[in-house]
Amino acid sequence: MPQGNKHINNEYFYFISNLNMKSKIYNKGILYIIVAFQCAINIHAQPAWHINPNDFEYNMTVTSMAYIPCSYTMDPRDQVGAFVNGELRGVGYFDVLDQDKYYCFLVIYDSLYSGNVVQFKLYDASEDTIYDALDKMTFTDNKIVGSSSNPFVFQLESPINELQFSIDSFSRFSPSGTKLASMFLVNLKKDTVLANFSFVDDSFGLNNNLFEIQGNELFLSKDISHIGQNELYIHIIGKSKNECPIDRKVKIKITNHTVQTSSIGNLLSIKIFPNPVDNDLFIETEISFDFIQIFDPLGKCIKQVPNNIENSVDLTQLTPGIYYINLLKENKLVGNAKIIHK
């Protein structure tokens, strides 16, 4: 290879190497700018909570956790700010990790020995959102609130810890449309919380399709008199106004008893005769009804007929034994009774 070409190649390699080095420096510069920009964004996103302890004479301490929507904080960037009449009196991070829990050791400062009401704000770093906490406390110099074993919990609302369901059984004679239960979310303060309820369609909610949810009430949506099983399984989830969910898997027992007034409402006062009966059974009620249902002792609906002018039903074909009748109006139970067929 001619010497000139070698010289050119050397210069070329030097140029390329120099270019690569400049490129690397340039790329690093871009990276530094990006990182600096991101840091600037993060710093800007955080609340400007800064305090000079030397400006105050008195202080108190709070060892705390925070319940920021739906769960206890697990982010060491989350903060709590303490305020007196809108002025900052303390700030702390939930950055002390102990046994999988994050704590904040908050020092609150004031110019008065005691008496001022302290209010709090919580900063959720993951959502870049500042919330007003429910909590208030009265400042007292040298006061100690909370500990690692029993921390004070700042919260937006009291944590939901229970989905209450008002029944554990109902009669298989209950007609479609029967209101069976009411559902409520309950927090740690035992307050009832408004919520939206729905079914969870999974392997446990095998019988969700037999029911319907309207608001916070559970209704039977199908006739279950023919079902042989004695237990039904549903899975329900409730979400509070802050979308904090809690679910409950419910096992409901199916009884063979006639429907009780307490589970249905005001039933009609009915009179049936003769009882025991051989052939025709006659029914006297306060108001009219549309259908008559006959159930055997196992809860199986063996006959359903529309009501007639005589308010009677022919039971000739029944074998001797105990039976139950339901009277329906507009597909709702309005009366029931126990009969004996001779």
- 113-145 tens-digit pLDDT: 999 999 999 999 988 989 889 889 999 999 999
| Greatest mean pLDDT among 66-75, 139-148, 263-272, 294-303 | 139-148
Question: Which pLDDT score is estimated for 307?
Answer: 86
Q: 36 pLDDT band (50/70/90 cuts)?
A: very low
Q: Residue range 142-168: average pLDDT? A: 86
Q: Is 260 within the bounds of a domain?
A: no
| Residue 170 shares a structural domain with residue 192 | yes
| Residue 148 shares a structural domain with residue 171 | no
Write the CATH number for 207.
2.60.40.60
Expressed as residue numbers, the domain containing 40 is 1-45
Sign of CA dihedral 184, 189, 92, 82: positive
Question: Which pLDDT score is estimated for 37?
Answer: 36
How far apart CA 83 and CA 321 sit, in angstroms, is 76
Question: Which pLDDT score is estimated for 323?
Answer: 83
| Residue 23 shares a structural domain with residue 71 | no
| Residue bearing tokens 């051989």 | 278
CB distance 209 to 220 below 8 Å: no
- Higher local confidence (pLDDT), 22 or 116: 116
Determine which helix (DSSP H) or strand (DSSP E) holds 37, and give its type and residue range. Answer: helix 3-45
| Residue bearing tokens 């009291």 | 158
Query: Whole-angstrom distance between the N-terminal and C-terminal Cα of the chain?
Result: 123
Cis geometry, peptide bond prior to residue 2 (ω within 30 degrees of 0)? no
- Higher local confidence (pLDDT), 41 or 338: 338
- The whole-chain average pLDDT of the chain stands at 79
**Residues 164-189: pLDDT tens digits?**
887 788 888 888 888 888 888 887 77
Task: Return the bridge partners of 292, or none.
Answer: 305, 327
- Write out the two tokens for 29: 């510069």
How many structural domains does the chain have?
4
Question: Which pLDDT score is estimated for 33?
Answer: 39
> Looking at 255, 288, 314, which one is the last position of a domain?
255
Residue 297, pLDDT above cutoff 50: yes
Question: Which pLDDT score is estimated for 337?
Answer: 79
Determine which helix (DSSP H) or strand (DSSP E) holds 182, and give its type and residue range. Answer: strand 179-187
Question: Which pLDDT score is estimated for 269?
Answer: 63
| Residue 89 shares a structural domain with residue 148 | yes
| Residue 178 shares a structural domain with residue 126 | no
Backbone angles phi, psi at 318, to 5 degrees: -75, 145
Q: Residue range 132-160: average pLDDT? A: 90
In angstroms, the Cα distances linking 241 to 69, 159, 236, 336 are 10, 12, 17, 41
Q: Is 202 within the bounds of a domain?
A: yes
Cα of 274 vs its chain's centroid, Å: 52
| Residue 177 shares a structural domain with residue 131 | no
Write the CATH number for 302.
2.60.40.1930
| Greatest mean pLDDT among 10-19, 83-92, 298-307 | 83-92
> Looking at 99, 124, 155, which one is the last position of a domain?
155
Q: 4 pLDDT band (50/70/90 cuts)?
A: very low
Question: Which pLDDT score is estimated for 187?
Answer: 78
Question: Which pLDDT score is estimated for 21?
Answer: 44
> Looking at 101, 122, 155, which one is the last position of a domain?
155
Closest CA to 190 of 216, 165, 164, 168: 164
**Residues 46-55: pLDDT tens digits?**
788 999 999 9
| Residue 61 shares a structural domain with residue 41 | no
Question: Which pLDDT score is estimated for 182?
Answer: 83
Question: Which pLDDT score is estimated for 105?
Answer: 96
Question: Which pLDDT score is estimated for 206?
Answer: 92
Cis geometry, peptide bond prior to residue 69 (ω within 30 degrees of 0)? no
pTM higher than 0.85, yes or no? no
Neighbours of 325 (CB within 10 A): 22
Residue 6, pLDDT above cutoff 60: no
